[in-house]
Amino acid sequence: MTADSATSQQPAPARQPPLKQKVTLGLKSLLRFATGEAAPSTPDPAGLFPATDPAVDGEDCTHDCESCHVSYPRGFKVETDDLLYGHVKGWSTHVIVATGKSDWVRDVEDEKGSVMEAFGEATSPTNGRLMLSASNIPTPSHTSNYSEPTTVILLPAFTVVENVTPAAVPLLISEYINHAPTSKSPLGPITLPRSLPLPLSSLPDAQQLLARPSPHRALILLCSHRTRDARCGQSAPILRKELERHLRPLGLFRDLDDERPGGVGVYFINHVGGHKYSANMMVYRRPDAFGLDAVARGKLGPGEEVRIKEVEEKKKNGGDATQEEGKKEDDDDDDDDVGAAQCIWLARVRPEDCENIVKYTVLQGKVVKPGSQLRGGFDRGKGLMSW
């Protein structure tokens, strides 16, 4: 072996952050040192989420969607030099609040009379940092009136809690969030109360908080917070349409109030940080959500097709189950529910990325462009987090 050939086989040096980001990270490191805070032990991104590999996943993972004919508005520019991975602030629980709106005041805790405001005033959970997101999920009354009870989703528990009012938030925290699995919890059965009496002054017409598993196998959250950054308001509707275009033929797209079991819910949420890296996308997945995590697409034989677990089950049962039958099956599986195994947080997402995000990230838990798009996340099955 010649010296030149030996040199050519050496791994490429790790890319360094640009000077501005390096200064910022240096200041954060000094602050941790001054406060005695331990430096984060960030796992290698490939150890957290597998990256696609053409030898395993096929050549499709190496190029963007060729049938995508939509694009962001002219002048849509984002920061492209910073290193993304490992720089998000860790969270234990993510609460998604149904508001029926896709834009909010700058800080959602300032939405007067809202559940978000109540969270801002309540005692923090005892099991770690809470990330709070307002969402465009319709409210039960199909209004954006904060005087009406609403619904929240607890993640990673994948638990839907109904009849939530501002007055019920302390009870929601003490009896549900404090006992729910977090991003650090190992996978295991979720044991949360199905119902709890509400404070008498909270909601005269419905005296209980009601909890049930989310019917979906995965959730995709898109930042649409135009008030914080116009790019988020521009990108979210475009990405949602592209995601729908690729999910619907698979039978997996679930609209805002679509409660059919399985599938993928696609929701807008408020600012999550890093709007200069727009578009931000968070993908929550149940364990091996569609039975494809171990499938090597690039090694399938001629005529072999990828078979999505829940779609195949419906075919065996003679077609689509009715909603009531689906709910019964979902109830039967409650005892085995462990919530989300993963959250994969991506940024700099563009419309042409959506096909492969659906194909590899949503369906298989892999990351197509880890070097330029992966911000972080967690995998409870591996016990790993990016923070």
pLDDT tens string 215-270: 999 999 999 999 999 999 999 999 999 999 999 999 999 999 899 999 999 999 99
Please check the confidence at residue 332 and state whether its pLDDT lies above 60.
no
The DSSP letter of residue 127 is: S
- Provide CB contacts within 8 A for 115, sequence distance 6+: 97, 146, 150, 152, 164, 165, 166, 169
Q: Are 39 and 377 in contact (CB under 8 A)?
A: no
Average predicted confidence (pLDDT) for the chain: 89
φ/ψ of residue 214, rounded to 5 = -65, 140
Q: Are 377 and 49 in contact (CB under 8 A)?
A: yes
Please check the confidence at residue 4 and state whether its pLDDT lies above 90.
no
- Residue 126 Ramachandran class (φ > 0 left, ψ -120 to 50 alpha, else beta): alpha
For residue 2, what pLDDT is reported?
46
The model carries a pTM of 0.88
Dist. CA 55–CA 19, nearest whole Å: 36
Dist. CA 101–CA 269, nearest whole Å: 9
Please check the confidence at residue 365 and state whether its pLDDT lies above 80.
yes
Q: Which helix (H) or strand (E) holds 196?
A: strand 195-197
What are the distances in angstroms from CA 96 to CA 74, 138, 268, 279?
32, 12, 10, 19
Q: Are 108 and 270 in contact (CB under 8 A)?
A: yes
Dist. CA 294–CA 221, nearest whole Å: 24
What are the distances in angstroms from CA 66 to CA 60, 69, 70, 163, 356?
10, 8, 11, 45, 11
Dist. CA 225–CA 209, nearest whole Å: 29
The DSSP letter of residue 219 is: E
Residue 364 CA from chain centroid, whole number: 14
For residue 257, what pLDDT is reported?
86
Is the pLDDT higher at 318 or at 42? 42
Is residue 17 very low, low, confident or very high in pLDDT (cuts 50, 70, 90)? Answer: confident
Is residue 371 very low, low, confident or very high in pLDDT (cuts 50, 70, 90)? Answer: very high
